[in-house]
Amino acid sequence: MKRRRSRISASPVLVGAITAVIAVVSVFFSYNANKGLPFVPTYEIKAELPSAASLVSGNEVRIAGVRVGIVSEVKAKQLDDGRSIAVATMKLDKSVEPIPDDSTVLVRQRSAMGLKYLLLTPGKSGEGLKAGGVIPESQADEPVDMDQWFNMFQEPVRRAIQKNLAEYGGGFAARGADINTIIGDLPPLLKLAEPVARNLSSNETDLRGFVRGLSQAAAEVAPVAETQADMFVQLDTTFQALAEVARPYIQDSITEGVQAELAVIRNGPRIRPFLYTSARFMEALRPGAKALGESAPIVANSFDIGIPVLRSSPQLYDELAPTARSLRRFGESTSNNEGLDSLIRTNEILTPLLRQVTPAQNVCNYANLLLRNANLTTSGGNSEGKYVRAISVLPSIGPNAEGNPAAGMANGGGLIPPAGDFDKSFLHSNPYPNTAAPGQSIRECEPGNPVTAWYNPGGWPNALTIGNVPGDQGIETALQTQQQLNWVTK
């Protein structure tokens, strides 16, 4: 009788034990998979990093985006100068051994959830890094993660960015066909945008100054931000009212707006010289416009006066024709022409004389004084008879006096004047007195002026005087009008 062989499946205890061992081994391998599979040879090196940047054990090591190993350990290290750095131990595949010793490392972000990986960029050195070698800190770049970039904004700005992302996301949702159309239309737009971008980047455009100006403008309107916000709230009411007439009027304006913009683009370069010329014209017109504003009341008054004159002008026009005929006959007459020539020659002769004589009357009033003195020649006198104004004051009699023969000029004769009077026996001669005429050094009226009256007590002192009286004696004479006195200021 043969003995039957026992099978493993016949023993439940043995099957359970084998299953438990397999599960433990699987869990062990799964737990240590991030640190490399056991019994698999690796190429281990280290890298000094300025900051681990949340890099942890088990993160991938990549070269050109291909996984070539894992980070087995990350530790902190304090340098002699007091700084702290991170040292990452990498287990790489043997296929990349050895990497050049001038290779660089950088911690990069793998996902938006904060997962990182270590980017290894091989260098060009012919020397390889041996197992256990260290990539120094000088060959490690310090990354700027997305969360660090967003942390530079204050909390209200970050919330606004979140809201913008949510709103723009909703705006792009279910609009794939429209986005494809936009992408199809972008090449012509980019072709036209290239010269625009070239102009913007030019130093002559001064885009930086424009941006600074916008910044200053924003700073200026910042105090009225609440007012502007209230304005947008009020605009909502306005747009609700406009919504009732949006079709077809506003809709048509938007549809036709594209054609209008294209017309502006085509005609803008042609209109530009006209606008430049208009700007220069307006600049030249500004002084005239200012003068017109100042003279507007006078012009308006002239219109008020001119309207009645224009109404009566037809009667004047009726008389102009016979008047013109008479003037024509007058001009064709030889005798009239000879008379006009005589008047012209007379004017040429009298003009220099009148230029000198006219101020004597307009300012000094000498014509009136002459007529007054001529009248007084027959009215003045004494019991012995009439005498002229010129000798109304009898000269003194004495040595070298004016009233008798003398050995010399009158220089104050020896006659003692009466009490309260003074000796008038002095020579006073001024053949060319100042009469306010052009070319004279002082604008004054010396003859007939009370200040220069030769024989007026209290007037000119006892002295021998020849020529103009020193100083400005003014323009005051007798019988002058206020208008003649005002000539001194002209």
Q: Report d(CA 428, CA 185) in Å as an integer.
A: 108
Structure-token pair, residue 89: 């131990």
Residue with tokens 């945008």: 193
- Which sequence spans correspond to the domains of the chain? 41-140, 333-375+396-490
**What pTM was estimated for this model as a whole?**
0.31
By CB atoms closer than 10 A (0-12, 13-18, 19+), residue 106 is middle
Q: With the C-alpha atoms ordered 228, 230, 231, 235, is the resulting torsion angle positive or negative?
A: positive
Q: 3-class SS at 378?
A: helix
**Rounded (10°) CA dihedral 350, 352, 354, 356:** -160
Q: Report d(CA 247, CA 224) in Å as an integer.
A: 34
CB 413 within 8 A of CB 400: yes
pLDDT at res. 455? 42
Structure-token pair, residue 389: 């104004």
Nearest-5° Cα angle at 188, 186 to 192:
110
User: Cβ of 419: how many Cβ atoms within 10 Å?
Assistant: 5
Structure-token pair, residue 471: 């100083």
Q: Report d(CA 32, CA 24) in Å as an integer.
A: 12
Structure-token pair, residue 391: 């000798």
CB 121 within 8 A of CB 105: yes
List the beta bridge partners of residue 157.
none
Per-residue pLDDT of the chain (490 residues; tens, 9 = 90+): 444 555 555 666 666 677 777 776 666 555 555 555 555 688 888 888 888 777 888 888 998 888 888 888 888 888 888 888 889 898 888 888 888 988 999 888 877 667 888 888 898 888 888 888 888 888 888 777 666 777 777 888 888 888 888 888 887 787 888 888 888 888 888 888 888 888 888 888 888 888 888 888 888 888 888 888 888 888 888 877 777 766 667 777 777 888 888 888 888 888 888 888 999 999 998 888 888 888 888 888 888 888 888 888 888 888 888 888 888 888 788 787 888 888 899 999 988 888 888 888 888 888 888 888 777 766 666 665 565 554 545 566 666 766 667 777 777 665 555 555 556 667 777 888 888 888 888 888 888 876 665 444 444 456 677 788 777 888 888 888 877 777 654 4
